[in-house]
Structure 1
Amino acid sequence: MEIITTHTKIDFDGMASMIAAHKLYPDAIPVRLRSFQPNVKKFLSLHRDIFRFQPIQRIPVDRIHRIILVDTSTLSIVENLAPILTKRDVDVIIYDHHPRPEHAIQANEAIIRNVGATTTILVQLLKEKNIPLTPIEATAMALGIYADTGNLTYNRTTAEDVEAVAYLFRQGADVTAIRRFLKVIFTQDQKRILYRLIRSAVKFSVNNNKIMIGAVEIEHYIDDLTLVTQRLADIEEADAVFCFYYDQQRDIVYIIAKSQTDNIDVGKLMTGFGGGGHARAASAQIPKGTLTALKARLYQQLKKVTVSPLTVGEIMTSPVSRISIDTPISEVENFMEKNQIHGLPITNDQGELVGIISKTDVEKARVNQLMHAPVKGFMTKQIKTISPQDTLDKAEALMIMHNIGRLPVLDAGQLVGIITRTDVLKHLYNKTTG
């Protein structure tokens, strides 16, 4: 007997990966180890006659000789399959887009690719093998990719994910159905937990990264705590959010982590707690253990693995060109054109920063036929500055807030550099911006 299965709390990517794997392995039985997330459950309730998933309790496990495991390779996440997965006479094939954990399930074949969704890997194989899809199958698979990539907006989204979605649309995927089933509606339990998290959360800094930790006790398991954690991350201005949920009924602590920055790899952090996931989203569950002790343990791990964010001092232009307040506008224009720059800081006789002039200011002087006038009559005197120790994110925020293209960098009151929109864009897109 062959079975296809995934992690215990099945999301859209897990469901879609199982559906896609069943197209590749039509003799295998799709099996659920536990339950589906609420939106997945709604989708399957409507499509019950098309997509069937047998509960593991109905499967004679002693007859299983092959397991096709999708969207996970972590043993603790498929705990009720552990005795079978470790048997020598059972073949294991894994399809996954998560980084392989340190103690990964041993497999005869493991197809691991760095894409946004496991469904993408399987859709690529279906396309290569020219296996036809019905519009409903294509819709189910597109749901998996959209859900796990945040509608193709998460950082881990790749060109392969976009190409897979395009292929599924050519197979008839229905965008209206996708939008309907991806729509998230908060339950009263989720709203109550979110409110308690907001009230109890603690914020602190690790290596100049803003961290938020929330912890609540829950009387029973509540569906889709990942959604609650994501909403908290959206509301609060933090680089990473860690939520501890203590299930009193099961005596288990669920840790769900979300990162908004490359400086904090929550997947690596959760591996240390027996879980796993991506650099930006990960989780773990721990039998027993006090919340206080677990939070202290997380704090120690954060200090070890958190990377300091890029600072202004690391990418600013230094030394910086500057002009005196008595320089004629015509000379300023020539200097800008020669050096292909759009703005210049202005200093007084003591070398102190007193203003800044842009190409727009020069154009105003030209229109008024005042190119002979000194720059002090056209410079901007209300200057926004930044320090070398400030983060690049702060520089970006200041530029957006004040609609300015450059920030002089001051250290102990002295002009030491300048950072421009172009510098920010080069880092944002990791390439030279024209």
Structure 2
Amino acid sequence: MEIITTHLEADFDGLASMVAAQKLYPEADLVLPAGVQSRERSFLAEHPLSFTALSSLNLADITRMILVDAQHQDRLGLLEKALKNQHISVHIYDHHPLETTNPLLPMADYCKVDSVGATITLLCEELQSRGLTWTPEEATFFAIALYEETGQFSYPNTTPRDFQMGGVLVQTGADLNQVTKYIARHWTPPQLDLFHALLQSAQTLNLGHRRILLTTLTWPDYVQDMAPIVQQLAQLHGADAIIAAVAMEGKVQIIGRSRH
């Protein structure tokens, strides 16, 4: 049995990359390890995908696991157990920085990890190279993932390849009205200012196999609802955990988030 999966608490990039990967591995089932983020749940409610329930699987039957937007076994939840299967084949597609100490990498028969803004860029490039196509509906889904993961092409890890793929997706039918519907954050100007300031001050620590993001600063005015800002910073960096400390109006707000 072949499965395609992504990380826990799947985001648009992980979900869209699963759909794209199924075009490369048409015999594989789509399996979520656990959890989907809130806007992604709204999308799936309107645009259901054909997932195979994890509870229906015999993990011992899995012979190939295709990981997208992930390269760490500890982000796979219960599916991590399948990696103990004898002679299991592992294929990896990811845009986060390659970590050579990752114990999963030596197990991989195929590994495509590249420094672009989104994993969906890598998968769409692979589809193009093989002469495989997608529908306008899929182009819209892929574009939502690309725009979301790159912060509408504003994040510093965005590359010319991401811009080029955005153009390709529009040319092949992506509906930008739908893209806007699902990626709009509705942040206030003060929240956006704080987000960019925290982004500039962020530092990454590698503790074992974990990537921890630390960001601290002093801010002149009080900003409400820091939690989604901190969550977005962690997503952007592909961090396993984040700790943000902001001093404002005589108090220090400390927010921590973890993917585990």
Using the size of structure 1 for normalisation, the TM-score is 0.47
Hey, what's the Cα distance between the residues in 2 that align with 1:103 and 1:132? 33
Look up the equivalent residue of 2:69 and give its one-letter code. Answer: D
Of 279, 284, 287 in structure 1, the residue corresponding to residue 240 of structure 2 is 284
Matches for 1:29-68 after TM superposition, within 5 Å: 29-48=29-48, 51-68=49-66
**Residues 63, 277 of structure 1: CA spacing in aligned structure 2 closer, same or farther, 3 A cutoff?**
farther
Q: Report the count of equivalent residues.
A: 217
Quote the residue 1:91 is aligned against: 89
Matches for 1:114-263 after TM superposition, within 5 Å: 114-184=115-185, 234-235=193-194, 238=197, 240=198, 259-260=199-200
Structure 2 unaligned spans of 5+: 214-233, 243-253, 255-260
**Per-residue deviation, 1:233:** 7.4
Using the size of structure 2 for normalisation, the TM-score is 0.76
Look up the equivalent residue of 2:143 and give its one-letter code. Answer: A
Quote the residue 1:7 is aligned against: 7
Look up the equivalent residue of 1:281 and give its one-letter code. Answer: H
Hey, what's the Cα distance between the residues in 1 that align with 2:166 and 2:65? 27
Query: Secondary structure, in 3 states, of the residue corresponding to 1:109?
Result: strand
Q: Per chain length, whose mean CA-contact separation is higher, i.e. which structure has more relative contact order (CA < 8 Å, sep 6+)?
A: 2
1:155-192, Cα deviation, whole Å (9 max, x unpaired): 00001111111111111010000000112368xxxxxx
Hey, what's the Cα distance between the residues in 1 that align with 2:239 and 2:42? 24
1:283-328, Cα deviation, whole Å (9 max, x unpaired): 3259xxxxxxxx9xxxxxxxxxxxxxxxxxxxxxxxxxxxxxxxxx
**Residues 161, 104 of structure 1: CA spacing in aligned structure 2 closer, same or farther, 3 A cutoff?**
farther
Of 184, 205, 210 in structure 2, the residue corresponding to residue 275 of structure 1 is 210
**Percent identity for Structure 1 against Structure 2:** 34
Hey, what's the Cα distance between the residues in 2 that align with 1:236 and 1:124? 31
Look up the equivalent residue of 1:95 and give its one-letter code. Answer: Y
Hey, what's the Cα distance between the residues in 1 that align with 2:153 and 2:138? 19
Hey, what's the Cα distance between the residues in 1 that align with 2:195 and 2:129? 43
**Residues 142, 177 of structure 1: CA spacing in aligned structure 2 closer, same or farther, 3 A cutoff?**
same
Hey, what's the Cα distance between the residues in 2 that align with 1:99 and 1:19? 22
Quote the residue 1:26 is aligned against: 26
Quote the residue 1:396 is aligned against: none
Look up the equivalent residue of 1:100 and give its one-letter code. Answer: L
Aligned-CA RMSD value: 2.5
1:17-74, Cα deviation, whole Å (9 max, x unpaired): 00100111111001101111111111111111xx222231122211110000000111
**Residues 9, 277 of structure 1: CA spacing in aligned structure 2 closer, same or farther, 3 A cutoff?**
farther
Hey, what's the Cα distance between the residues in 1 that align with 2:84 and 2:192? 38
Query: Secondary structure, in 3 states, of the residue corresponding to 2:166?
Result: helix
**Per-residue deviation, 1:281:** 2.1
Look up the equivalent residue of 1:123 and give its one-letter code. Answer: C
1:69-123, Cα deviation, whole Å (9 max, x unpaired): 0001112211322221243411000000111232241311110111000000000
* Structure exhibiting the larger radius of gyration computed from Cα positions: 1
Any conservation in 2 of the 1:76–1:274 contact (CA below 8 Å)? no
Look up the equivalent residue of 1:138 and give its one-letter code. Answer: A
Any conservation in 2 of the 1:33–1:55 contact (CA below 8 Å)? no
Hey, what's the Cα distance between the residues in 1 that align with 2:88 and 2:11? 26
**Per-residue deviation, 1:130:** 1.7
Quote the residue 1:342 is aligned against: none
Any conservation in 2 of the 1:274–1:285 contact (CA below 8 Å)? no
**Per-residue deviation, 1:265:** 4.1
Structure 1 unaligned spans of 5+: 187-230, 241-258, 287-294, 296-434
Hey, what's the Cα distance between the residues in 2 that align with 1:86 and 1:277? 27
**Residues 149, 89 of structure 1: CA spacing in aligned structure 2 closer, same or farther, 3 A cutoff?**
same
